[in-house]
Amino acid sequence: MTMTKNPPQADVKHKQPFHLDKDAIRAAAKKVDQGAVTEGYRGNRKEVIGMLNDALATELLCVMRYKRHYYTAKGLENESIKAEFLQHAQEEQSHADKIAERIVQLGGEPDFNPQTLTARSHAEYNESSEIKEMIRSNLVEERVAIEAYRQMIERIGDDDPTTKHMLVQIMAQEEEHADDMTDLLDL
């Protein structure tokens, strides 16, 4: 005699088929003055915008550090490293652009104030002229960015899935950057 398993029972609260609340959708659509953020947004906008402005400062500082290293690294033997610095600078600028755009979507203003940039940044600037120190500095600051993004993602949780998704994508690229710098240190 063979025993057959019964199929798992559906969760009681989900017995009814799902239907969108069209009245709520239409009501949200009419509030055009709120831009991209609807009534269903559960995040703390002020806090998220603050975190994003600090992340924006970090990305902008990283662009400047990578650009400095790109322009000041010397020697034909360092051309591939310089190319890596330039690529990372461009990717960091892309991160900054995405963050600034998200700040605006949330109804905030991106803070590009150069007078407060270094104070708001999680990362530090580096003026080293020695190639190994440039690489090491970039690795350290990539690790700083990764940890900062991890903490931000954890704090935001599921309250703001759009911001969380953006930060996860940026963090993944920061991890690639850290991996690249680790590889370069093994020259």
pLDDT (tens digit per residue) in 108-160: 999 999 999 999 999 999 999 999 999 999 999 999 999 999 999 999 999 99
CA distance 124 to 49: 21
Closest to 187 (Cα-Cα) out of 144, 150, 134, 145: 134
Closest to 142 (Cα-Cα) out of 169, 173, 111, 120: 173
Question: CB 28: neighbour CB atoms within 10 A?
Answer: 15
| Sequential pLDDT tens for the chain (187 residues) | 555 565 555 555 667 899 888 887 787 777 777 777 777 788 899 999 999 999 999 999 999 999 999 999 999 999 999 999 999 999 999 999 999 999 999 999 999 999 999 999 999 999 999 999 999 999 999 999 999 999 999 999 999 999 999 999 999 999 999 999 999 998 5
